[in-house]
Amino acid sequence: MTQLNPWIGKSISIAPMLKVTTPHYLKLLSILSKHIQLYSEMTIARSIIENTHVPCFALEPVQNTVALQLAGNNPSELHKAVSIANRQPSYNEYNLNVGCPSKRAGAGLFGVALMEHPQTVALCLRAMKDATHRKVSLKCRLGINVDDNGQSLRKLIDAVLKLNACDTLILHSRIAITKFKPKDNWTIPPLNYETTFKIKQEYPELPVIINGGISSLQQAQNYIHKVDGIMIGRAFENQPALVSLVDKTLHPQIHSTINIPDAVSQYLKYAEHVISSQPHTHPHGLFLPLMHLFHNQKNARSWRIAVGNALKKQNSSLQDSLNEIKKALEERKHLPLSLSENFSHAKREHQHPSPVTTPPDSLKPSTPAKP
């Protein structure tokens, strides 16, 4: 008997990551997979209104669905930002970031600080929904500072659902601890997938996407039947070639996996187009997405060195950087590639803790958890 594909009707997305999920990076991912749901890096709503920053795909729209992630706490600003972004056909979803643990977010009362203000979050999401027919989603943590088994999260969800203000909930499945730096907040608070699964059970009508510490699609397969989608951040950042497995995972009958050198060739064509239409583009932003494409492959280091050299070219032209990468690509076009799902994080900066449910002593909540 053939087994049913557990991924039918489910989604796989790249997590929004500041200074990582830039339009150029998303372009590369769109070459690797037509079905991965893309999320922009966090964009402050006011910067869209003031026109200081709009991540856009006007140059060469991607075929994939793209969510624009917004940060803010003012419903009328968020409404305005969504109305402006609506002029672009690229977005299918607007997401509100209620998970950012940075000091700046805390001081400005946006990001994870908003978890303590469910009514404000509900009004913000409602204002975003009133500005668009596209999907509106919320990305947040399981709680803030205290592991209360999702009690405060439930209050937030109830407030949001009461206003019919959210189409999808994305749960970074750990609490945030405001005294920690963002980097520590992505790793130290223990993952707690069980609370995410419980939330999905309790709110069956609300699509729930699980995020946090998922390091492969194989691992994701163990959870997909309990949620509506999987969001992966650092594992895809560290080994973007894994994104090429997404289409085959979601639609095994239709798709095969794109060859990585072919994907690089397609990206370099895009880069040529960028260079001719936007000659002041910085090489770093344009070529950094290629850096880890050959991670865990033979000669990965020499590829990284070639891309690194291309990024550093201060006084030479973008075209020189492009030529350097083209040369490095030629040298490895015929090398066999083996895409393994079981990759090691050991040498990379961001490390994933294994999911644990009991916090270490240093993280024991200072306030007694509610029953």
Ligand X SMILES: Cc1cc2nc3c(=O)[nH]c(=O)nc-3n(C[C@H](O)[C@H](O)[C@H](O)COP(=O)(O)O)c2cc1C
Site for ligand X, rule CB under 6 A: 15-18, 20, 41-42, 69, 97, 99-100, 139, 172, 186, 211-214, 232-235, 350, 352
Closest to 115 measured CA to CA, from 103, 94, 98, 100: 98
126/243 Cα distance (integer angstroms): 33
Cross-strand bridge partners of residue 91? 66
Angle at 39 between CA 133 and CA 31, to 5 degrees: 110
Q: Helix (H, G, I), strand (E, B), or coil: what is residue 102?
A: coil
231 or 325, CB closer to ligand X? 231
Q: Pick the catalytic residue from 56, 100, 124, 166.
A: 100
8-state DSSP, 142: S
Sequence-distant (6+) residues with CB within 8 A of 213 are 173, 174, 191, 352, 353, 354, 355
Is the torsion defined by CA of 95, 96, 98, 100 positive or negative? positive
Backbone dihedral angles phi then psi of residue 136, each to the nearest 5 degrees: -125, 130
**Longest Cα–Cα distance in the chain:** 63
Known catalytic residue at 100:
yes
171 or 318, CB closer to ligand X? 171
Q: How far is the CB of 295 from ligand X (least distance, A)?
A: 15
Q: How far is the CB of 174 from ligand X (least distance, A)?
A: 8
HSE on the CB side for 280, CA within 13 Å?
0
Q: How far is the CB of 193 from ligand X (least distance, A)?
A: 12
Contact 72, 81 (CB under 8 A): yes
Q: How far is the CB of 97 from ligand X (least distance, A)?
A: 4
Q: How far is the CB of 215 from ligand X (least distance, A)?
A: 8
- For ligand X, which residue has the nearest CB? 233
183 or 333, CB closer to ligand X? 183
68 or 329, CB closer to ligand X? 68
Q: How far is the CB of 287 from ligand X (least distance, A)?
A: 18
324/306 Cα distance (integer angstroms): 7
Contact 96, 77 (CB under 8 A): no
Sheet strands (E) in the chain:
11-14, 38-39, 43-44, 66-71, 91-98, 135-141, 168-172, 208-211, 229-232
156/149 Cα distance (integer angstroms): 13
**CA distances for 320 relative to 35, 207, 275, angstroms:** 33, 47, 11
235 or 250, CB closer to ligand X? 235
Rama region for 190: left / alpha / beta (φ>0; ψ in -120 to 50; rest): beta
Q: What are the structure tokens assigned to 256, written together? A: 């095969």
Q: How far is the CB of 234 from ligand X (least distance, A)?
A: 4
Q: Helix (H, G, I), strand (E, B), or coil: what is residue 70?
A: strand
Residues belonging to the active site: 100
